[in-house]
């Protein structure tokens, strides 16, 4: 009998071009929840390598502004090409979301959001966005 595959031993999901909408609360299908969470093909995906400002609820006006911008930008990125999901060493987080590194047309979504000031690298816990 073969051992069960772990997330680290499984390769990336095949790239898929999908039309994403918005789903700011509750479940959804192929939609963006916020700057680091989206639904794709029935799975709720949490981008594993970044932290973005909260939108549900934001803790201050600046976090609300940045969170809305990150959500809009993630929507635009996901709709700009073929999305590839890369597993990490853990399959899901404590909320049941699939933890994945995400690329669009071979470019890291997390890297793009960080470069644009809409995300930070994830360091094991959330950091505040309010000054």
Could you report the per-residue pLDDT of 15-70, keeping only the tens digit for each?
Answer: 788 899 999 666 778 999 999 999 999 999 999 999 999 988 899 999 999 999 99
By the 8 A CB rule, do 49 and 39 touch? no
At residue 24, the pLDDT reads 65
Residues in Cβ contact with 106 at an 8 Å cutoff, skipping those fewer than 6 apart: 84
By the 8 A CB rule, do 66 and 53 touch? yes
| Segment holding 85, helix H or strand E | strand 82-92
Question: Could you tell me the pLDDT band of residue 4, with boundaries at 50, 70 and 90?
Answer: very low
What is the pTM (predicted TM-score) of this model? 0.87
């Amino acid at each position: 009998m073969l051992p069960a595959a772990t997330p680290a031993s499984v390769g990336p999901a095949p790239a898929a071009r999908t039309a994403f909408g918005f789903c700011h609360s509750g479940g959804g299908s192929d939609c963006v929840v916020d700057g680091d969470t989206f639904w794709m093909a029935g799975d709720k995906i949490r981008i594993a390598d970044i932290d973005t400002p909260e939108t549900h609820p934001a803790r201050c006006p600046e976090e609300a502004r940045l969170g809305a911008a990150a959500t809009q930008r993630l929507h635009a990125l996901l709709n700009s090409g073929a999305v590839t999901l890369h597993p990490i060493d853990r399959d899901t987080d404590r909320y049941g979301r699939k933890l994945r590194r995400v690329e669009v047309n071979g470019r890291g979504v997390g890297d793009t959001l960080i470069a644009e000031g809409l995300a930070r690298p994830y360091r094991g816990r959330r950091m505040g966005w309010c000054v």
